[in-house]
Structure 1
Amino acid sequence: MTDDLTTLHTDLAARADAAGLLDVAYRIVDSPIGALLLAATPTGLVRVAFEREGFDDVLDALAAKISPRILASSERLAIAATQLDDYFAGRRRHFDLPIDHTLSSGFRLDVQRHLPDIDYGHTMSYAQVAELVGNPKAVRAVGTACATNPHPVVVPCHRVLRADGGLGGYLGGAEAKRALLTLEGAA
């Protein structure tokens, strides 16, 4: 019975996607820092969420902000899942995925677009990122942009630290941030 339901669900998601009726596809993947929810629109990866955020809450927010036409669908997120697996296995140092920036705008988006400029295994301070984006006085705003990054791990806000070298905040929690930095050899 379970196999039949899985087959029916997979078929429904594929048909909805082919007909242009699937606005947000999602899947949950396991990782060394806990389960992650991946969500994508036809444009690209729109959200990576930590389990501590509450996956149902994240899906409700996506339904309100993007579209209520959301289904679990592994196919649209297969490449993202593979790249995350490779990253956590130490075989990938950067992500090559289309990103949907619908959930960010303004200065936050400017910061988030520059975060991939911080190389794997390296870190920058919030002040250095503010300088990088051309607004050296916007240190707190950089912190807010990192805290609201809808693509953690893939868009590496975990590489941004306090000026004193402290971790600062992280949506996935301090242990997840420390684990990512350790994985990359930056901690």
Structure 2
Amino acid sequence: MEKLVPNPEGFELKETAQGIAVSYRWYKPLAWFLIFFALIWNGFLIVWFSLPTPIFFKLFALLHLAVGIGLAWYVICLFVNKTEIAITSQDFATRHSPIPFPTYKNKHLKRSDIGQVYIKQEISRGKNGASVSYSLNVLSPQGTSNKVLSYDDYEKAIFIKRKIEKYMHINPQSIEGEYVL
């Protein structure tokens, strides 16, 4: 019997005769802080590069420039990007658009490539404490694991996991290393 999981906030669902489509925006309230931070960071770099300084100082700032460009790119993605997930009995696909981002890859898997679906808790420790995320992984019939999505919220990960199992007719089984709340 399938456990009922409520639709996570911000998830849009469209059921069709073939399967289900789930979409959500990347936007987080953190985006407003990051836009402010990116403006200050990049503004400082504009001033730095416009000053008549020796080439060594400009070369030193190139790494900071790369961080500033990456941060601005990410902030823009937070405001405009959306993830779309399509699940049918034969296919599972994710699409992140309209702006590509290096850590968000589009995926397309056939049912024959998926043996099980499981969630893994990932803890990243930094100087400001730890952050927790929940990766949605597929295990191939050959035993190869593939991370397909990652969420800050367990409820979002379990929601997508259960939809995949339902529409692809996967009988859930316990996987070593799986995170279960």
TM-score category, normalised to shorter length? under 0.3
Structure index of larger Rg = 2
More strand by share: 2
More helix by share: 1
Q: TM-score, normalised by structure 2?
A: 0.27
Q: TM-score, normalised by structure 1?
A: 0.27
